[in-house]
Structure 1
Amino acid sequence: MRDPVAVAEDGGMPILIQPDDLAARIAAGERTVVLDVRWSLAAPDGTEAYRAGHVPGAVYVDLDRELADHDAVGEGRHPLPAEADFTAAMRRWGLRDGDTVVVMDDLGNQSAARAWWLLRHAGFGDVRLLDGALAGWRTAGHALETGDVVPERGDTTARFGAMPVIGIDEVAEVAGRGVLIDARAAERYRGEIEPIDPRAGHIPRAMSAPSGDDLDAAGRFRSPEALRERFAALGVQVGDPVAAYCGSGVTAAHAVASLAIAGIDAALYPGSWSQWSNDPSRPAATGPDSR
């Protein structure tokens, strides 16, 4: 049977919510803020897709403008936003302290996980990913709403520090003492292609674990047991340091969520390959597993 809530082994807040459970909350009038994070490299502006059909009441979140700070220099393509800027975004979304927040996208939650991670990092307790994302909502037979949703302004405040973060100088240490996960596509990890960043390859000693492989054929997260087996095969052991990176820190948040479902705490390297590869003093490895 599928785990309906997927909580971390430490008994923390649920990480996932199933479409039927979200629909029931909405129907019962339970206060729930739904955030729609439509974004991809091919279509970074998901506004029109959102307006064409979204979960009823969902507020559109602009990943590039609200979940990143492009004024930060030398920190990669999607640096973390400043506390004050993220506070303004959360208030625009209508968030109040104590709310249940559900985030989703149309990409298996690989972009929505950035919002999940930032909200957790900001101290928000009850933040859940809609398992199966928009496709799961549709498959479950639930209706969509069109147009824009403009909520009443919220009053919550971001207080960063609740999630572990590492910088460029700590990455190599994690790769040497524990497990550093590269969540990009395997061909980018191996250095066979690099469509965006200045150098191909990966951080030495990192392990390839494409974020899409954490999902089943329906785009839902694999079970906690299956995810534990996946990460154990990469050498993840309880107590060892674990961190994740990707191209620019977006899908790496999805890897952190997958690890959390498996009961494993992991740090995020927000600068990711986009920061590392822009520093010529940092080595790059190519080919398969370099450990």
Structure 2
Amino acid sequence: MSILMNVAQLQERISAGKRTVLLDVRWVLGDPHGHDHYLSGHIPGAVFVDMDAQLASHGRPEDGRHPLPTEADFAQTVRTWGINGGDTVVIYDDAGSAAAARAWWLLGYSGIANVYLLDGGLAPWRAAGLPLEQGEETAEPGDAVVRYGAKETIDSDGAAAWAGILLDARAGERYRGEVEPMDPRAGHIPGAVSAPTTENLAPDKTFLPAAWLGARFAALGVAPGSSVAVYCGSGVTAAHQIAALEIAGFRAALYPGSWSAWSNQPGRPVATGADGDRVEG
């Protein structure tokens, strides 16, 4: 089953009166005004999703910047979004699904089916001249059941011992350790392969076709049956990488703590350079 829905398909659902839960995850690292952007214009019927309050919890630095919410908290959030069992859910952002993929992954991790990313996000909706709604929208509470565990996760120990392919979804300069704007140490987990999420997208920020993504991941060593895990800075854009892998026909585990957790654990080694040939710690 495809994980993507395009604007024409979404518009057709809405026009036909088919029940569709719309979630707007307007979040970009460094921009704290996502809710304001939502209020100024969103797809009619969409409920705002707060990355920090609803798609993450808050713990110790060694847990990372965006630890997963507890199952109980996320269950309450899902009901607040108005999701019922069997509903079709469509999630979008304004950043090529980089943030929306976190909600997509969490709903899938919770065992909820029929969850789609709006390919290209809000931009193609605007480009089609379709209406936008202003202000806050809320939903009648839903009854969907949340049970964590439908997708695989690993922790820091699991990442250290990972025997398969470990993909680093951050920008190449962060992987190489040339810059580190957010976390206490620069570099990457030894043995990880650089795979920036920006390379999953076409210029219009829609996902590349499945065959192209398949070729991309094959070049990184991913093959049918490979054990694959993904991390990023704080477990957000890694979900985007997992979405791209699923489009290409591969499954992958998420390391939710990601680099923000690893780099806050002084005993963990850090590699730098394009080939990871310099290891410290």
Change (3 A) 1:137 1:249: same
What residue number does 1:23 align with?
A: 11
Question: SS of the residue aligned with 1:20?
Answer: helix
In the TM superposition, residue 141 of structure 1 has moved relative to its aligned partner by 2.8
User: In the alignment, residue 137 of structure 2 is paired with which amino acid?
Assistant: V
What residue number does 1:4 align with?
A: none
CA RMSD of aligned residues (A): 1.2
Asked if structure 2 preserves the Cα contact closer than 8 Å seen for 1:208 and 1:289, the reply is: no
In the TM superposition, residue 166 of structure 1 has moved relative to its aligned partner by 0.7
What residue number does 2:241 align with?
A: 255
Question: SS of the residue aligned with 1:285?
Answer: strand
* 2: CA distance, partners of 1:231 / 1:148: 40
* 1: CA distance, partners of 2:237 / 2:73: 21
What residue number does 2:257 align with?
A: 271
* 2: CA distance, partners of 1:116 / 1:70: 20
Asked if structure 1 preserves the Cα contact closer than 8 Å seen for 2:58 and 2:67, the reply is: yes
* 2: CA distance, partners of 1:57 / 1:143: 11
What residue number does 1:135 align with?
A: 123
User: In the alignment, residue 126 of structure 1 is paired with which amino acid?
Assistant: N
What residue number does 1:234 align with?
A: 220
**CA deviation string 1:258-287 (max 9, x = no partner):** 000000000000000000001111110111
What residue number does 1:62 align with?
A: 50
User: In the alignment, residue 218 of structure 1 is paired with which amino acid?
Assistant: D
Q: TM-score, normalised by structure 1?
A: 0.93
* 2: CA distance, partners of 1:164 / 1:87: 18
Match of 1:284 among 257, 260, 270: 270
Gaps of 5+ in 2: none
Question: SS of the residue aligned with 1:227?
Answer: helix
Q: Please say if 1:172 is aligned against 2:156.
A: no
* 2: CA distance, partners of 1:82 / 1:72: 15
* 2: CA distance, partners of 1:242 / 1:90: 28
What residue number does 1:185 align with?
A: 171
Q: Please say if 1:159 is aligned against 2:168.
A: no
Change (3 A) 1:72 1:289: same
* 2: CA distance, partners of 1:42 / 1:198: 17
Match of 1:209 among 195, 201, 207: 195
User: In the alignment, residue 103 of structure 1 is paired with which amino acid?
Assistant: I
User: In the alignment, residue 92 of structure 1 is paired with which amino acid?
Assistant: T
* 2: CA distance, partners of 1:73 / 1:290: 24
User: In the alignment, residue 8 of structure 2 is paired with which amino acid?
Assistant: D
* 1: CA distance, partners of 2:143 / 2:61: 30
User: How many residue pairs were aligned?
Assistant: 277
Q: Please say if 1:121 is aligned against 2:109.
A: yes
Question: SS of the residue aligned with 1:109?
Answer: coil
* 2: CA distance, partners of 1:227 / 1:94: 33
Asked if structure 1 preserves the Cα contact closer than 8 Å seen for 2:61 and 2:264, the reply is: no
Change (3 A) 1:163 1:72: farther
Question: SS of the residue aligned with 1:23?
Answer: helix
Question: SS of the residue aligned with 1:243?
Answer: strand
User: In the alignment, residue 100 of structure 1 is paired with which amino acid?
Assistant: T
What residue number does 1:47 align with?
A: 35
- After alignment, is 150-159 or 186-195 more displaced? 150-159
**CA deviation string 1:65-92 (max 9, x = no partner):** 0000114663110000011100111111
Q: TM-score, normalised by structure 2?
A: 0.96
